[in-house]
Chains A and B, each alone.
Chain A
């Protein structure tokens, strides 16, 4: 049985903000199924009482001293923006027009 369906891949692509084509969906569904069947092998390991490792460096709550540092200027921060307006990032509308 397939580990992942074409419909699930389409749903995941939507969640990931990827406007994939029908052709990509066909291709990815098969490939992701092969990959998932392979990586699912981690489930064979008895690890109920094993703590997870998110990270190999045992450091927590790393802060620098609270001293003001020079940072990017507004112009530098906006220098790579696809669209900027009056010193701000300009974005497409985020709300539907309301009455």
Chain B
């Protein structure tokens, strides 16, 4: 394996800018690595070798500059890339090549990054394991018989397998953070509205948040700074400056957290984390206290209703959003024999094109929104969302950030949670409250349990994304990064 694939994004950007190495060499090293290992990892749904090498040549010719000039990046397949297949890991979009770029893709290009390809995920970002990808699961580089997390398991696995130094994910209920946790990588969900959703294939529009994935906190902050910021094409984009997350990460890396208050959510304590996960979390918390942080117990009494509220709100929004896949404007069409009606063709197309988890959620959402059930389910879930938001606001009057394990369990073996969908949903127990509130949160590797990575989650107030990077970088300075076994 080339040394270039071991380097951080910051190191690569520096060496390319100093002309110690060419962007083409860097791109080729990563493409070679993908050729060598991706048959086993299956992080990528599409590798755009030609596009990557052309983009790298433009950097080497000086036609493209920027803070990440020549640094390779992998992009989750739910994000529209002009002319490059974008499927959301669904059969209903097989072979679709979008006629436009998502805003964050434009920003990645403006920053000089080189896109390697599109990463695997649970279909339409619904899942916690990539087992719901229509194109087969991604395997965790730490143990190929285990899940890489989801939905963004491909992005996280690409990092852990040294196929890419940076990746883009999207987080609706934990789809950046939980894969980060179980692959020993860093995943950050920005403040909702802090990163543009334009060109992101919608799952749950009031929750979906694109964000950075990396192997260390500073790289994640740099990627965050490049993709974040107001976008007129997204009406929920926040028209405010992006907090200086890179400066915050560098400040945190100095290892001083004097005066920083960490909130420990009382209601999470009894919530069934595996013993090894709880132990790694405790040890990391003690490490942060040694750096000067203070731990304060806070109460968030409505967090226990976050999972039920989420599994009403997200399916409701998805049942509406996915109505656009009707076999008319793009994607699959099945059964159009000249005799069948539009409605029959639509129903056959959607049955053939969607996988089981997507169908379950569409049906669940249709139920929760239907007359007679709306008030008891969707309406009540929206009220609970208000109460969860108030819990966060009250907690942040007492502390700077909240901390918890990212997910209650380490990477589980394939097939162990697919027969009972609710068991799969429990993977997102600690990540979901943040999505309902809209604040930022990051998962940083904090140790191993039975040889598998554990993630430490830091949640911050809305538009205070810098705080989680400061604490995350401090944690990293204390416990170090994790190195997976050789593939």
Contacts and interface: CB of A to CB of B under 8 A. Distances in A.
Interface of A: 4, 8-9, 12-21, 24, 27-28, 31-32, 34-36, 38-45, 47, 50-57, 59, 62, 64, 72, 76-77, 79-83, 89, 91-94, 96
A55 B363 CA distance: 22
Interface of A is mostly: loop
26 contacts: A17-B326, A17-B346, A19-B344, A28-B360, A32-B360, A34-B420, A35-B421, A38-B422, A39-B311, A39-B312, A39-B377, A40-B376, A42-B381, A47-B387, A51-B386, A52-B383, A53-B382, A53-B389, A54-B206, A56-B192, A57-B238, A82-B333, A83-B333, A92-B336, A92-B344, A92-B345
B421 A34 contact: yes
Contacts, number: 184
A19 B351 contact: yes
A80 B422 CA distance: 36
A30 B115 CA distance: 43
A38 B326 contact: no
Which of B193, B348, B367, B386 has most chain A Cβ within 10 Å? B367
Given A38-B311, A80-B99, 4 more contacts: A14-B347, A17-B346, A28-B356, A76-B100
A4 to B, nearest CB: 7
A53 B386 contact: yes
Interface string B295-317: 00000001001011101100000
B232 A64 contact: yes
B379 interface: yes
Contact of A92 (B99, B340, B359, B422): B340
B203 interface: no
B362 interface: yes
Interface in B363-388: 363-364, 366-367, 370, 376-377, 379-387
B54 interface: no
B297 to A, nearest CB: 22
Nearest to A49: B383
A18 B351 contact: yes
Contacts of B326: 17
User: Closest 9 CB pairs between A and B?
Assistant: A56-B438, A52-B382, A80-B330, A82-B333, A19-B347, A47-B383, A76-B99, A62-B235, A39-B308
A47 B343 contact: no
A91 B335 CA distance: 12
Contact of A35 (B351, B389, B422, B438): B422
A45 B390 CA distance: 14
A16 B363 CA distance: 7
Interface residues of B, number: 73
B172 interface: no
B363 A28 contact: yes
A89 B323 CA distance: 17
B350 interface: yes
B144 interface: no
B351 A81 contact: no
Nearest to B421: A31
B486 to A, nearest CB: 39
B333 A47 contact: no
Given A38-B308, A41-B308, A18 B387 contact: no
Interface in B201-236: 206, 232-233, 235-236
Contacts of A91: 328, 342
Contact of B366 (A15, A41, A55, A89): A15
Interface in B175-215: 192-193, 206
Interface in B113-165: none
A89 B436 CA distance: 38
B341 A94 contact: yes
B445 interface: no
A39 B332 CA distance: 33
B402 to A, nearest CB: 16
Given A18-B347, A32-B364, A42 B384 contact: yes
